[in-house]
Every structure is written in structure tokens, then in C-alpha cells.
Amino acid sequence: MLVIEDSKHYQNLVSFLQREHFPDLTVKLADDGVVGLAMPAQEAVTAVR
């Protein structure tokens, strides 16, 4: 799951709820929309290498 949110409070809340209810789910956090939207593309390129 990708969470794009500049509020650290909200990021912490989402991370906490994720760990409690979906421990097998991987969460990626981004403070900035441009950086967050680029994250899946970066992971795809890394996986191909």
C-alpha cells in the first residue's frame, strides 16, 4: 500500500492501523505527491535489474 501524505501524524496513524489489522501488508510512505507517485516505477525498475 502506498500512502502519500505530508502529515506525520496521519502517516503514523495509518502505519499503526496497518500493523494491527494487516500485518502482512507492506506500506510505503511518501511526504510528497511527486515522490510518492514515482515510487512504484522505481520499484519496478529495481525488480527488473
- Please check the confidence at residue 40 and state whether its pLDDT lies above 70: yes
Q: pLDDT band for position 46 (50/70/90)?
A: low
Whether 30 contacts 39, CB under 8 Å: yes
Is the pTM above the cut of 0.75? no
C-alpha 48/C-alpha 22 separation (Å) is 27
